[in-house]
Amino acid sequence: GQNIDQPTEMTATEGAIVQINCTYQTSGFNGLFWYQQHAGEAPTFLSYNVLDGLEEKGRFSSFLSRSKGYSYLLLKELQMKDSASYLCAVSSSGGYQKVTFGTGTKLQVIP
């Protein structure tokens, strides 16, 4: 089976940096996604890590350690619009892509 853990809620201040952690246990690991979901909207793709290390994309960075089953999403220079749920999802193999989601971390950015 698969198990994905991430904090339920986090609060951070506008302009600050926040790190959202995700740990996972899975078989046949392909890669790890981070999605952003604003209330009532579709999840939107942020990043996809296949290899160990840090991937930077503007204000957002994502890190992966496959040996530790660990990833984090780093958000810099927080803006109020960053208030959303951040979903960690693991892609596993089986001849096709199967993506399993964690429960999501609800981030609230305060002034």
Partner 1 sequence: EAGVTQFPSHSVIEKGQTVTLRCDPISGHDNLYWYRRVMGKEIKFLLHFVKESKQDESGMPNNRFLAERTGGTYSTLKVQPAELEDSGVYFCASSQVVATGELFFGEGSRLTVL
Binding test (CB under 8 A) with partner 1, winner from 41, 52, 56, 77: 41
Residue 105 binds to partner 1 (criterion: CB under 8 A): no
Quote the CA–CA distance of 51 and 110 in Å, as a whole number. Answer: 33
Binding-site member from 33, 34, 72, 86 for partner 1 (CB under 8 A) = 33
Query: SS3 for the chain, per residue?
Result: CCEEECCCEEEEECCCCEEEEEEEECCCEEEEEEEEECCCCCCEEEEEECCCEEEEECCEEEEEECCCCEEEEEECCCCHHHCEEEEEEEEECCCCCEEEECCCEEEEEEC
**CB nearer partner 1, residue 43 or residue 69:** 43
From 48, 60, 66, 70, residue interacting with partner 1 (rule: CB under 8 A):
48
| Residue 94 binds partner 1, judged by CB under 8 A | yes
User: 13 vs 25, which CB is nearer to partner 1?
Assistant: 25
Q: Rule CB under 8 A: is residue 104 a binding residue for partner 1?
A: yes
- Residues binding partner 1 (CB under 8 A): 4, 30-31, 33, 35, 40-45, 48, 50, 87, 89, 91, 93-94, 96-104
